[in-house]
Amino acid sequence: MRRAIALARTRVGLTAENPAVGCVIVRDGVVVGEGVTGEGGRPHGEEVALDGAADLARGATAYVTLEPCGQRSSGGLSCSERLVAAGVLRVVVACSDSSIYADGEGSRRLQAAGVAVDHGLMQAEAEALYAAYRPAKSLESRR
């Protein structure tokens, strides 16, 4: 998680309305993929890490600084869906995301698919990254 937080820190303030999320994928004690949200907010950190890990993500653990999204504003696959499709077995989340695109939905989707989800590892450090992040609380607030 320490590496995921370090990655996220490099993009704070550069990801527009989206938060800067770091993700590190570990399999058998080896980092097989890592990523951070792109400048302007796309791609998401989990997407970058999954692309880097490719098939090595199957059976791995993903360490993510902020809860993976449960849905996408663009309508594409959410990060939680991508993690499930990649075969990740465990997701460790530093802190929750109260955005309408996450707010527990990402964690619930992962758990429903049989993925173990742990919350709170290095939570205070991750929350400090998101002090200025003000997620949309409802679809009405996005208009």
| Residue 66, domain member (yes or no) | yes
| Residue 27, domain member (yes or no) | yes
**pLDDT, position 136:** 66
| Residue 99, domain member (yes or no) | yes
User: Catalytic site residues?
Assistant: 46
Domain residue limits at 94: 2-134
Mean pLDDT across the chain, nearest whole number? 92
pLDDT, tens digit, 9 for 90 and up, residues 43-74: 999 999 999 999 999 999 999 999 999 988 77
| Residue 77, domain member (yes or no) | yes
CATH at residue 100: 3.40.140.10
Count structural domains, the chain: 1
**pLDDT, position 142:** 36
CA distances from 95 to 1, 20, 123, 130 (A): 11, 13, 5, 10
Q: List the chain residues with pLDDT less than 70.
A: 136-143
| Residue 74, domain member (yes or no) | yes
Q: Is residue 95 classed as helix, strand or coil in its secondary structure?
A: strand
**pLDDT, position 134:** 74
**pLDDT, position 137:** 63
| Residue 10, domain member (yes or no) | yes
| Residue 141, domain member (yes or no) | no
| Residue 142, domain member (yes or no) | no
